[in-house]
Amino acid sequence: MREIVLDTETTGFDPSEGDRIVEIGAVELLNHVPTGRTYHQYINPERSMPREAFEVHGLGDEFLADKPKFIEIADAFLEFVGPEAKLVIHNASFDMKFLNAELGWVKKPLIANERAIDTLLIARRKFPGSPASLDALCRRFGIDNSSRTLHGALLDSEILAEVYLELIGGRQPGFGLNFEGDNGQKSALGPSDDWRPKPRAVPLPSRLTDEEAAAHAAFVEKMGDSAIWRR
């Protein structure tokens, strides 16, 4: 299974108002394992870079002036992502909106929204009520993002690939599921064909402080009997 972990940087928030992509970064995964193949491209947005965007991305007009326009890199980008690979994106609706706007403007095939896997939605479902930004997830999973002083598409894609693998069950999602029996034949499961993760011998200590527990209890109390935590 081929997946592409992808990130874009843009001049703003809405392509319908003239905002454009200025950088694309992508990392290839095969069966949830990074292959080492990446795609990275700076793009001339054909417009001035707003001050707010410059402060976030560190990409100014002078730097982007000699970079190729999107129409010049569209075919190479589409070739890298391919026609079927899933696109793993944090806040996928934002990046897909920009990618398809750019592709539409240069009359290239659009990318079906169904191909996107949104890690933001996965994180919110898995950790309801907790911060789900890329930085917050790095802290949760102990992923080093100290080099992320500015937003950069390729660096963010590499970090997101690590976060994604943790969100779906760790760096080895199939770990423990391959067993070689006495006859040398490999089985998809163990000898009993009933592999299950076992409880920890010693439960992890709670990270919840007394103050946080009290604040949560007060919050639930305000919600009344319909609160999901009372069910």
Q: pLDDT tens, position by position, for the chain (231 residues)?
A: 999 999 999 999 999 999 999 999 999 999 999 999 999 999 999 998 887 766 656 678 889 999 999 999 999 999 999 999 999 999 999 999 999 999 999 999 999 999 999 999 999 999 999 999 999 999 999 998 887 655 689 999 999 999 999 999 865 544 444 444 444 444 444 444 444 556 667 776 777 788 888 888 888 788 777 777 666
Give the active site residue among 32, 40, 151, 216. Answer: 151
Whether residue 194 is contained in a domain is answered as no
CATH code, domain with 17: 3.30.420.10
151 is catalytic: yes
Of the CA atoms within 13 Å of residue 52, those in its CB half-sphere come to 5
Q: List the 116-118 sheet strands across, edge first.
A: 33-42, 21-30, 2-10, 86-89, 116-118
| N-to-C CA span, the chain | 39
Quick: pLDDT tens for 148-162: 655 689 999 999 999
Does some domain include residue 214? no
Domain interval for residue 33: 2-167
Pair 20, 42: CB distance under 8 Å: no
The reply to whether the predicted model has a pTM over 0.85 is no
Does residue 154 belong to any structural domain of this protein?
Answer: yes
- CA angle in degrees (0–180, nearest 5) for 205-170-210: 20
209 lies in some domain: no
Report yes or no on 187 lying in a domain. Answer: no
Query: Using one digit for the tens of pLDDT, what is the confidence trace for 175-211?
Result: 444 444 444 444 444 444 444 556 667 776 777 788 8
DSSP state of 149: S
- Please check whether residue 20 lies inside any domain of the structure: yes
Provide the 10 A C-beta neighbour count for residue 210. 7
Residue 183 forms part of a structural domain: no
Q: Tell me if 184 is assigned to some domain.
A: no
User: In total, how many domains does the chain have?
Assistant: 1
